[in-house]
C-alpha cells in the first residue's frame, strides 16, 4: 500500500509540474485553471494523509493525528505558495520576452475600503487583433486616473490576456 501511495503522490506532483505549468492552463480563465487547484488543495492532501497513516509518529505530548494534519496543512501551503510564485514569475517573464504596448481605456474604477489596505483600483479595456481584453484590477496609488483616461497596456503577444498597465507598474 505504501508503494502505491508513494507512486500516486509522485504522480500527482509530476502532473502538477508538467500539466499544471503549461501555458494553456496558466493563462486559462476557464475550467482548466482549476486543475492545479484541485491537485494542490484536494488530491495531494488526501494522498499525503493516507500515506502518513502508514507511518507511526511518536511525538511527545502531541497526538499522531495532529502531526499528520499539520504536515498535510503545511504541504498545501507550500504547494500553493510555490505555484502562485511560479505563475507570477512565468507571466512576468512572458511579458518581458513577448510584451507589446497598446492603448487601453479605463472603464472601471472603485475604492476598495479594506480596513488593512484601502486603495483605488482600476481596470482598462484594450484591443488586440480585433478582440477586446481587460486588465486585472490594478492599484492607482496616487488616485490620478479617471474613467475614460487612455493608458498604456503591455500585453503578451502569445497570450494577450496576460497584461499590465504600464503607468501603474511598480519597478
| Per-residue pLDDT tens digits for 82-119 | 999 998 899 899 999 999 999 999 999 999 888 788 89
pLDDT confidence of residue 171:
56
0.85 surpassed by pTM: no
For the stretch 132-144, pLDDT in tens is 999 988 999 889 9
What is the structure's pLDDT at 131?
Answer: 94
Residues linked to residue 150 through DSSP beta bridges, in sequence order:
105
Q: Give the cell for residue 59.
A: 511525538
At 59 the pLDDT is 76
Question: How confident is the model at residue 106, as a pLDDT?
Answer: 96
> What's residue 50's pLDDT?
94
pLDDT of 21 reads 82
Give the Cα separation of 119 and 59 in Å (integer).
46
d(CA 170, CA 164): 10
CA pair distance 137, 164, nearest whole angstrom:
9
Q: What is the pLDDT of residue 151?
A: 96
pLDDT < 70 stretches in the chain: 171
Amino acid at each position: 500500500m505504501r508503494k502505491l501511495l508513494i507512486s500516486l503522490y509522485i504522480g500527482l506532483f509530476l502532473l502538477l509540474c508538467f500539466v499544471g505549468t503549461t501555458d494553456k492552463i496558466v493563462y486559462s480563465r476557464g475550467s482548466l485553471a482549476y486543475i492545479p487547484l484541485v491537485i494542490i488543495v484536494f488530491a495531494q492532501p488526501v494522498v499525503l494523509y493516507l500515506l502518513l497513516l502508514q507511518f507511526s509518529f511518536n511525538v511527545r505530548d502531541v497526538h499522531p493525528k495532529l502531526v499528520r494534519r499539520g504536515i498535510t496543512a503545511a504541504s498545501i501551503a507550500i504547494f500553493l505558495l510555490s505555484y502562485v510564485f511560479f505563475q507570477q514569475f512565468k507571466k512576468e517573464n512572458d511579458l518581458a520576452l513577448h510584451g507589446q504596448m497598446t492603448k487601453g481605456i479605463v472603464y472601471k474604477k472603485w475604492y476598495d475600503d479594506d480596513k488593512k489596505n484601502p486603495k483605488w483600483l482600476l481596470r482598462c479595456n484594450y484591443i488586440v487583433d480585433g478582440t477586446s481584453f481587460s486588465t486585472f484590477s490594478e492599484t492607482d496609488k496616487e488616485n490620478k486616473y479617471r474613467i475614460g483616461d487612455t493608458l498604456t497596456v503591455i500585453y503578451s503577444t502569445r497570450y494577450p490576456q496576460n497584461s499590465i498597465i504600464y503607468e501603474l507598474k511598480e519597478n
